[in-house]
Amino acid sequence: MSEEEEKKESPQKVPGNNRILFCYFVVVVLLGLIAVGIVLRAFDTAFVEKEKWLKVAESQKRPDRLILPGRGNIYSCDGKLMATSVPRYNLYIDFRADGLQVDTFLYSKANGVDSLAVYLSRKLKDKTPAGYKKHLLSGLKSKSRQYPVCKQRVSYADLKEIQKYPFLRLNRFKSGFYTKEMVQREKPFGTLASRTIGDIYGELETSGVSKGKNGLELQYDSLLRGEAGLSSVRRLGGGWTNVTEIEPVNGMDIRSTIDINIQDITEKSLVDKLKEIDAESGTAVVMEVATGEIKAITNMGRIREGVYGETKNHAVADEIEPGSTFKVASIMVALEDGVCQPGDTVDVGNGVYMYAGARMTDHNLNRGGYGRISVEQAIWYSSNIGVAKVILKGYNNNPTKFVEGLYRIGMNADLRLEIPGAGRSKIRMPNDSLRYWSKTTLPWMSFGYETQVPPISTLTFFNAIANNGKMVRPMFTKDISHNGKVIQTFSTEVLKSSICSERTLRMIQDMLVGVVEKGTGGAVRSDRIRIAGKTGTAQIATGGVYRTSGHQVAFCGYFPVENPQYSCIVVIRRPRIGYASGGTMSGGVVKNIAEKIYASEMVFDIRDIAPDSLAVMLPAVKGGEQRAVENVLKRFDVNYEKEDLEDSWVLVAKEEETDQVKLSELSIHEGLVPRVVGMGAKDAVYLLEKAGLRVSLSGMGKVVSQNIPPGHKVSKGQTISITLK
């Protein structure tokens, strides 16, 4: 190959290639330098200048504010709202605010104190305009930084209105007007079970949540209160925007065991009796036998003469001497230990018995006493001497055995109630070094003195008798839920599967029926529902003295006897009118409660009820267009029969004997006035106007008369009058 051909075949060098590679290199270096610069700047911002930029960020943000959570609601067993939270506001003026417009406040016609006083007086109605003016001027003179505009707290809706009032409508720096938010617990059913539901403190804690004060509100406070959230106001795009930093968590809801209907019955029955006998206070509790659910609980005390309201929760907190209701426990122990039988007799003499230098009496001592009676009669007639002699006979030499028997049947059971501050039964042992045991302690203990038992503990014991010996814990809560979802459900808890033998239980049950049907509980006897139970009347001790402190009367029992559904205790303290009697006073309340609950829960099969002679067995059906009439009859399931109808209009007749409605054809002839009697206004007017008549009608209902008889020849444009009734 020649030298020239070799040159032609060898590749040619392109002069521009080196320049392109150089440009690429420069671009890469520049981008690398920019990237390094960004990284260095980011490092400098994040670490070297961190404090500077954090301060800048803070300047674009206002301090965090609490977002208050909603406190959980408390409901009745059937879902009725019993306690809920609503915001309330206290109103203040800072009369030392830097921008306070004093001249405006004093002299302005539109925004001055005179106008403001008029508006506040009209709205709040607790002072005259002159009174409000004087009040506000006193605040200005005092230079107070927290001067109350008014005494009362206002709702959110009222606050929004008040913020538009003269002077207050100026911004906060000019008016000094500001508010403090409070939380108020509203109870839609007022006093019903108020002490058991409980209350909350009005002031919010620093964490932004409310706090329970007593009752279920305190017991479940940690669940009801919720958790506050946080929000901040940030500057974005030239304006301020509210930003939620942490979402608030609303509290859980509590569904109680309270039945609003039974609660209402119980409270009204108790208050009526308290007013009748002018008593100091009273307690009533209704428990469901099988479950232990508290369906009603009320504690009413005299607020002023003739006025009663929920006070202390006596039912669970009071550790009181139970009186004669305790005799049932004493005789149960004696029966279990074989000390006595229901038919054994005991001599109670003339109603007075001296023992260890102390005088023991029966309530009928003024009538000569009961003489010799049986053990079951000692319960029927509530004989202190009878019960005391039985217990002395069996346990005088070994009183510890008697107290152990009381423990065995559950009289001192720890109920672990859901109500904070609940009391507990105190039944002392003979060897208790802290409490003195005297020779008279055993007999007096046997009929309900020298022991302390809360009313709800007595009720729990009687409920066990009604529940075939099974003692269950009283329940106040059915379940806990959050956002509509049930979190926890509470079920019946058995404290003792059997408080005594079945034989003893039947004996005691018979005695309690006898108290009502043969003994001191005669006032409790009802013609509608059988009630069993025990009366109790005890003197109240003050400073160790009984005679001058008044009486406490009680009745505890259950109903209906055949299949006990509810147990109930009523305790009334210091009645001032009438003879103190557990049967007549407390027993009368129990009877009223039992009868009203029985009446409210009665269910009848309507097919078994005799028809009312005045009852309308078939409805009043109007005549008219056939398909419409038949459609109505079918919808209301009314029996009907029809003829072979050629026309589409019918007349209606009722056949009372067959309980049927009969449809007959209404003949309509061209040129003749149709019959519209028995029709409604719509169908009657349609037919008459279709026939060429003008219609004048009066009344309402169905047509009872037409002034042109049917079958007459129609004169076009003639007016026909129809009357409806």
DSSP helix/strand/coil, 193: coil
The whole-number pLDDT of residue 645 equals 63
Separation CA 584–CA 522 (nearest Å): 8
Query: pTM for the whole thing?
Result: 0.72
| Closest among 317, 335, 316 to 327, alpha carbons compared | 335
**What does the DSSP 8-state code read for residue 366?**
G
Q: Three-state SS string across 606-642, please?
A: HHHCCCCCCCCCCCCCCEEEHHHHHHHHHHCCCCEEE
Phi-psi region of 226 (alpha: psi -120 to 50; beta: other; left: phi over 0): left
In Å, how far from its chain's centre is CA 647? Answer: 61
Strand ranges, E, within 305-396: 307-310, 345-347, 352-355, 358-361, 372-374
Residues contacting residue 417 through CB under 8 Å, at least 6 positions apart:
316, 456, 474, 476
**What does the DSSP 8-state code read for residue 64?**
P
Residues contacting residue 536 through CB under 8 Å, at least 6 positions apart:
322, 323, 324, 325, 326, 382, 448, 552, 553, 554, 555, 556, 582, 586
Q: What backbone phi and psi angles, to 5 degrees, belong to 641? A: -130, 155
| Closest among 109, 241, 91, 229 to 160, alpha carbons compared | 91
Q: Three-state SS string across 291-328, please?
A: CCEEEEEEEEEEEECCEEEECCCHHHHCCECCHHHHHH
**What does the DSSP 8-state code read for residue 176?**
-
Token code pair at residue 451: 């022991």
Taking a C-beta distance cutoff of 8 angstroms, is the pair 273, 585 a contact? yes
Residues contacting residue 486 through CB under 8 Å, at least 6 positions apart:
479, 480
Q: What angle do CA 14, 19, 25 make, to 5 degrees?
A: 135
Cα 717 to Cα 38, 666, 690, 713, distances in angstroms: 98, 23, 11, 12
The whole-number pLDDT of residue 340 equals 95
Separation CA 452–CA 407 (nearest Å): 14
Separation CA 620–CA 702 (nearest Å): 10
CATH number of this structure's domain 264-600: 3.40.710.10
The whole-number pLDDT of residue 412 equals 92
Taking a C-beta distance cutoff of 8 angstroms, is the pair 315, 329 a contact? no
Instruction: Name the residue with tokens 């209907």.
Output: 261
In Å, how far from its chain's centre is CA 145? Answer: 41
What's the CATH class of domain 624-724? Answer: alpha beta
Separation CA 411–CA 425 (nearest Å): 7
689-722 burial: b if 16+ Cβ within 10 Å, else e: eebebebebeeeebbeebebeeeeebeeeeebeb
State the DSSP string of 428-486: --TT-TTS---TTHHHHHHTT-S-BB-HHHHHHHHHHHHTTT-EE--B-EEEEEETTEE
Domain ranges for the chain, please list them.
62-80+189-201+208-253, 85-182, 264-600, 624-724
The pLDDT averaged over each successive group of 10 residues in the chain (725 residues) is: 51 62 82 83 74 63 69 91 87 91 91 93 92 93 92 90 93 88 83 86 74 89 86 64 78 94 94 94 96 95 90 90 94 96 95 93 91 96 95 94 96 92 91 82 93 95 97 95 92 96 96 96 94 92 64 95 96 92 94 93 64 65 80 80 70 65 79 86 86 87 88 85 88
What pairs with residue 284 in β-bridges?
Answer: 298, 570
Separation CA 709–CA 280 (nearest Å): 78
The whole-number pLDDT of residue 162 equals 93
Separation CA 500–CA 656 (nearest Å): 63
DSSP helix/strand/coil, 575: coil
Cα 637 to Cα 605, 650, 658, 659, distances in angstroms: 19, 19, 15, 12
Residue type, 5: E
Could you say which architecture CATH assigns to the domain 62-80+189-201+208-253? Answer: Alpha-Beta Complex (3.90)
Alpha helices in 156-300 (DSSP H): 156-162, 172-175, 194-197, 215-219, 221-224, 260-277
Separation CA 436–CA 431 (nearest Å): 9
| Closest among 470, 464, 457, 456 to 512, alpha carbons compared | 464
